[in-house]
């Protein structure tokens, strides 16, 4: 008997598929539990229209996922944590924390269930974490777990490097002006 599966049934098929099963299995197991309906007239037309609608919706979701992947590719997210002894955190960084940090950094909303964090992060460091945006689109982001003091130190180093670069540019400009002045004489 041909039936349309309403949901995934182990060793039979996935939801939405039309499969052939034994008559007794369909009548005694699949139909009473509403796992399937007979593949006849009205049910078949409804299945085809739903499949077409799902295909359009899936295409839109895929396009949105590709756009989000472009924004997230190569992203490094900084999450601040409080540290106990050494590099061990008080508490831990979860998939929810990573999803919120990504939304804050890029505006892209990521479901915490799509963040591939197996175990919560409990120590400082940089972690590559896969984010699955669609069934076939996945990107890897870097999560930098650090302390407030480390962020302040990094900002100070960046400011010093910028000051050195500005000073070097000024010295180069002054040397160029001096060289032009000496060639004119």
Are 132 and 83 members of one domain?
A: yes
Contact 98, 132 (CB under 8 A): no
The CATH number of the domain holding residue 128 is 3.10.430.100
Q: What is the pLDDT of residues 87-145, one digit of tens each?
A: 788 888 999 999 999 999 998 899 999 999 889 999 988 999 999 988 788 999 999 98
- The rounded mean pLDDT for the chain is 88
Q: What residue has token string 């008080």?
A: 90
Answer with the one of 33, 68, 103 that is the final residue of a domain: 68
Band (81; pLDDT cuts 50, 70, 90) = confident
DSSP state of 112: G
Are 120 and 80 members of one domain?
A: yes
Are 29 and 87 members of one domain?
A: no
pTM to 2 decimal places: 0.62
Band (172; pLDDT cuts 50, 70, 90) = confident
More confident site: 123 or 148: 123
The three state secondary structure string of 10-69 is CCCECCCCEEECCHHHHHHHHCCCCCEEECCHHHHHHHHHHHHHHHHHHHHHHHHHHHHH
Are 59 and 73 members of one domain?
A: no
Are 140 and 104 members of one domain?
A: yes
33 belongs to a structural domain: yes
Query: Structural domain of residue 104, as residue ranges?
Result: 69-146
Task: Tell me if residue 6 falls in helix, strand or coil.
Answer: coil
Are 54 and 83 members of one domain?
A: no
Cα separation values, 3 from 49, 53, 68, 178, Å: 16, 20, 38, 88
Answer with the one of 25, 46, 68 that is the final residue of a domain: 68
The reported pLDDT for the residue numbered 100 is: 94
The reported pLDDT for the residue numbered 103 is: 92
| Domains of the chain: total | 2
Are 74 and 17 members of one domain?
A: no
Task: Tell me if residue 70 falls in helix, strand or coil.
Answer: helix
The CA distance from 123 to 22, in Å, is 55
Contact 68, 133 (CB under 8 A): yes
Answer with the one of 68, 83, 107 that is the final residue of a domain: 68
The CA distance from 156 to 169, in Å, is 20
């Amino acid at each position: 008997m041909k039936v349309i599966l309403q949901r995934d049934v182990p060793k039979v098929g996935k939801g939405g598929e039309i499969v052939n099963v034994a008559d007794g299995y369909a009548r005694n197991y699949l139909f009473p539990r509403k796992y399937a309906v007979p593949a006849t007239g009205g049910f078949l037309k409804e299945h085809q229209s739903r499949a077409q609608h799902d295909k359009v919706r899936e295409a839109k979701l895929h396009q949105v996922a590709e756009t989000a992947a472009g924004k997230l590719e190569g992203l490094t997210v900084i999450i601040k944590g409080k540290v106990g002894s050494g590099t061990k955190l008080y508490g831990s960084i979860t998939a929810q924390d990573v999803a919120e940090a990504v939304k804050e950094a890029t505006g892209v909303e990521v479901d915490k269930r799509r963040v591939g964090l197996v175990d919560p992060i409990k120590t400082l460091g940089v972690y590559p974490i896969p984010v699955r945006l669609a069934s076939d689109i996945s990107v890897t982001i870097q999560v930098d777990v650090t302390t407030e003091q480390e962020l302040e130190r990094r900002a100070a180093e960046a400011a010093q490097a910028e000051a050195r670069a500005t000073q070097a540019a000024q010295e180069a400009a002054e040397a160029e002006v001096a060289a032009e002045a000496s060639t004119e004489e």
